[in-house]
Structure 1
Amino acid sequence: MARTNTKPDNQQPNAPEFLAWHVTDKGEKSFWNKVGAAWRHKDGKGYTLQLEVVPINGRIVLRQPLDEPEGQNEKGSA
């Protein structure tokens, strides 16, 4: 869910500080689906939340991205 724009002077793209997850509960299980990301404002006083979809039920949870093991893709298979 990283943004496609890059910083000037060949710097790395601005990675999101949080990932947005849509969480629904089915009995004792919770199902998590990534729906967007959040970036801190330059002044540190807020966030921009970019959603790829808008859920109509459940809740949206913001979590810091986890460092993925080298060679592992988003689906979880190496």
Structure 2
Amino acid sequence: MARENTNQTLPLNAPDYLAWHVTQKGEKSFWNKVGAAWKHKDERGYTLQLETCPINGRIVLRMPLEEPAETANEAGRS
């Protein structure tokens, strides 16, 4: 269950990482954003919140880009 921001004067924190579901078809990779991760206050772990739970492929955590990506398939690639 996600925690709600109970103090309305504080903005919600941006995630430390975005979660991407990556599938491979031939030589092409397909990246779809599926969630985000936030560092715990004690810095000893992360909370991962997924909007969907893939059953194949892999989940990759990447730092959010400073500038918005042109397309979802290009975001998070290196």
TM-score (norm 2): 0.76
**Structure 1 gap ranges (5+):** none
**Matches of 2:70 and 2:25 in 1, distance apart?**
27
Cα deviation digits, residues 16-45 of structure 1 (max 9, x gap) = 000000000000000000000000000000
Instruction: Provide the aligned length of Structure 1 versus Structure 2.
Output: 71
Aligned to 1:51: 50
1:20 aligns with 2:10: no
Q: Taking structure 1 as reference, are residues 41 and 74 closer, same or farther at Cα in structure 2, changes over 3 Å only? A: farther
**Cα RMSD over matched residues?**
2.7
Q: Tell me the percent identity.
A: 66
Q: Which structure would you say has the larger RCO, counting Cα contacts within 8 Å and 6 or more residues apart?
A: 2
1:35 corresponds to which letter in structure 2? V
SS, match of residue 35 in structure 1: strand
* Runs of 4+ that moved beyond 4 A: 72-75
Say whether the 8 Å CA contact 1:7–1:14 is kept in structure 2.
Answer: no
Normalising by structure 1, we get a TM-score of 0.76
